[in-house]
A and B are shown apart, each in its own frame.
Chain A
């Protein structure tokens, strides 16, 4: 059997631009406990998708995620990556092709930053030169200057810098799949926002299939392609795009998770250019918003300035129209209708 294991791993490893993950009725029962920690969890993550698991602590979201790299062994069910059954592979070799980032980072304190990042390439037997080049490249990717940081030790770095190294280390062998367990949870709000923005930009260019666990719903909205709202025993209450969940929460549980200000959160997801703009006139040109800003930014500007309308400018800076509170609210309504329409289309197709 070792031969087929090798081919399976090679195949998974070669899908560096994201692989499809399928979890089928996966359960985890801890010995001595009546209730399963995870019960019959099924989900498909498409290649390149960033999926957020959101739920309260103890709901089993982390357990579910950790079964994908077998830090926790499932009790039943099947998990495949790119069609390969991972439960039949050697766990250590499998993990070398799955990036893993945890909240506590877990950098190795006795190794330099460069050595930390080089761990997986070394395990995979890369040459020294290839490893060194990759370390430099990754440090630049996470915006740490290799000359300054490569030879420092983890304790000489700030928390935010350490987590960047954590992300770089997980990306070292260019794995198709990344598992991230509240990676930005322990950083202060300003650093977190910065790391999130950097991470989004990074994901745009690398397009991994990512399972991202968080208890912060706003983080889920900001980052996720799709969000799975989980309750006890990792039951999926709703699994959909952020916009769809905000517009139509499946039940009270999901609603309670969204909390106050669902409309504002939705506005943050809709760019100004999707709204039907009013006429452009010199009268509205005192305050300006760009077409690729969000409607939430636009509303913010309207409230702060107290102006009845604000001007909208395109990338080149030419005035293309105006926005009022009514137009923003119309755009929000239109967005909900559009969502409902795609949904009924999907229903008909299915």
Chain B
């Protein structure tokens, strides 16, 4: 009786695990499927339209590849810069005992994110210059906070006794950081980077206002010239990129998450 109950329990558990895995695979596959379907739908719809000369100037492969490339370039370079700047800042901040420094830097990052991105871009363009670099700086300012905050949280949530035992076994504080703290903080830091990436994809559309290209060009042109197909294509492309980048980041998160955690 007991044995059979135990067996049932085990088989239920493994069945639950199988279902779990199936759900996870389904969820994992959902995003690319949705993206492919909407892009396919878009293409199909465009092929049924008679495009006028204005639309033809925008809705051709060269133009679309160019703008998409610009958009991806802005997004990815900005995210790399954010990672390179915000992760070390987060590490330094989590080591400092000065409440003032922490408050000050976090406050600054908060302001960067709270200020509307359009405002930051336009202001920077007025006081500095227009073009790619300005758009990049605005993007970095805007998406700095999630990575900074997650780096700090990731390091602070580590069990203090894990750190104490690492020190007690004779690791230097640098070794504790590299071998214990950072690997354990990786999932949280990556989640911050993922948020930043998705932010960047959206905000990069406003680069068009300061002549820095990107898919914002298509959206704004479509609006201004009242060319509905152009507008829709730009919007669908931006949304697809955001979804795909988020998806890639989630896969990377799963791969880099330390085993055993």
B119 in the interface (beta carbon within 8 A): no
CB pair B169–A102 under 8 Å, yes or no, is no
A222 in the interface (beta carbon within 8 A): no
CB pair B164–A110 under 8 Å, yes or no, is no
* Contact mask for chain B residues 235-261; partner A; CB cutoff 8 A; 1 contact, 0 none: 000000000000000000000001111
CB pair A106–B170 under 8 Å, yes or no, is no
Binding site for B on A (CB under 8 A): 69, 71, 92-97, 100, 102, 104-112, 119-120, 123, 153-156, 166, 169-170, 179
Residue in chain A with minimal CB distance to B172: A92
CB pair B260–A155 under 8 Å, yes or no, is yes
12 further A-B contacts with Cβ under 8 Å, apart from A95-B169, A107-B162, A111-B260, are A97-B170, A102-B161, A104-B161, A106-B166, A107-B165, A108-B165, A108-B180, A119-B169, A153-B259, A153-B260, A166-B165, A179-B168
B171 in the interface (beta carbon within 8 A): yes
A181 to chain B, nearest CB (A): 9
CB pair A102–B260 under 8 Å, yes or no, is no
Enumerate chain B residues within 8 angstroms of A123, measured Cβ to Cβ: 169-171, 175
CB pair A96–B170 under 8 Å, yes or no, is yes
B61 to chain A, nearest CB (A): 46
Given contacts A104-B161, A153-B259, A155-B260, contact A109 B184 (CB under 8 A): yes
Docked complex Cα distance between A112 and B258 (Å): 11
Docked complex Cα distance between A123 and B166 (Å): 11
A284 to chain B, nearest CB (A): 43
Enumerate chain B residues within 8 angstroms of A156, measured Cβ to Cβ: 260
Instruction: Select which of B168, B169, B261 is within 8 A of A109 by beta carbon.
Output: B261
Docked complex Cα distance between A169 and B260 (Å): 18
Docked complex Cα distance between A120 and B175 (Å): 12
Enumerate chain B residues within 8 angstroms of A102, measured Cβ to Cβ: 161, 164-165, 168
Instruction: Select which of A93, A111, A154 is within 8 A of B170 by beta carbon.
Output: A93
Docked complex Cα distance between A262 and B259 (Å): 50
B183 in the interface (beta carbon within 8 A): yes
Enumerate chain A residues within 8 angstroms of B170, measured Cβ to Cβ: 92-97, 120, 123
30 sampled A-B residue pairs with Cβ under 8 A = A95-B167, A95-B168, A95-B170, A102-B161, A102-B164, A102-B165, A104-B159, A104-B161, A105-B161, A106-B159, A106-B162, A106-B163, A106-B166, A107-B162, A107-B165, A108-B180, A109-B261, A110-B258, A110-B259, A110-B261, A111-B260, A119-B166, A119-B169, A119-B171, A120-B169, A123-B169, A123-B175, A155-B260, A156-B260, A170-B169
Enumerate chain A residues within 8 angstroms of B260, measured Cβ to Cβ: 109-112, 153-156
Enumerate chain A residues within 8 angstroms of B172, measured Cβ to Cβ: 92
Docked complex Cα distance between A166 and B162 (Å): 11
B44 to chain A, nearest CB (A): 48
Enumerate chain B residues within 8 angstroms of A111, measured Cβ to Cβ: 260
Docked complex Cα distance between A276 and B159 (Å): 55
Docked complex Cα distance between A290 and B161 (Å): 44
Enumerate chain B residues within 8 angstroms of A110, measured Cβ to Cβ: 183-184, 258-261
Enumerate chain B residues within 8 angstroms of A169, measured Cβ to Cβ: 169
Docked complex Cα distance between A71 and B260 (Å): 27
Docked complex Cα distance between A51 and B259 (Å): 38
CB pair A71–B168 under 8 Å, yes or no, is yes
Enumerate chain A residues within 8 angstroms of B166, measured Cβ to Cβ: 106, 108, 119
A6 to chain B, nearest CB (A): 15
Enumerate chain A residues within 8 angstroms of B261, measured Cβ to Cβ: 109-110, 155
Enumerate chain A residues within 8 angstroms of B183, measured Cβ to Cβ: 110
Closest CB pairs A-B (n = 7): A153-B260, A106-B165, A96-B170, A110-B258, A100-B168, A104-B161, A95-B170
CB pair A71–B171 under 8 Å, yes or no, is no
Docked complex Cα distance between A93 and B172 (Å): 9
Residue in chain B with minimal CB distance to A115: B260
Residue in chain B with minimal CB distance to A172: B169
Docked complex Cα distance between A110 and B186 (Å): 11
* Contact mask for chain B residues 168-188; partner A; CB cutoff 8 A; 1 contact, 0 none: 111110010000100110000
Instruction: Select which of B161, B175, B258, B259 is within 8 A of A106 by beta carbon.
Output: B161
Enumerate chain A residues within 8 angstroms of B159, measured Cβ to Cβ: 104, 106
B259 to chain A, nearest CB (A): 7
CB pair A69–B161 under 8 Å, yes or no, is no
Docked complex Cα distance between A120 and B259 (Å): 21
A212 to chain B, nearest CB (A): 15
Docked complex Cα distance between A154 and B172 (Å): 23
CB pair A96–B165 under 8 Å, yes or no, is no
Docked complex Cα distance between A282 and B103 (Å): 84
Residue in chain A with minimal CB distance to B164: A106
Enumerate chain B residues within 8 angstroms of A97, measured Cβ to Cβ: 170
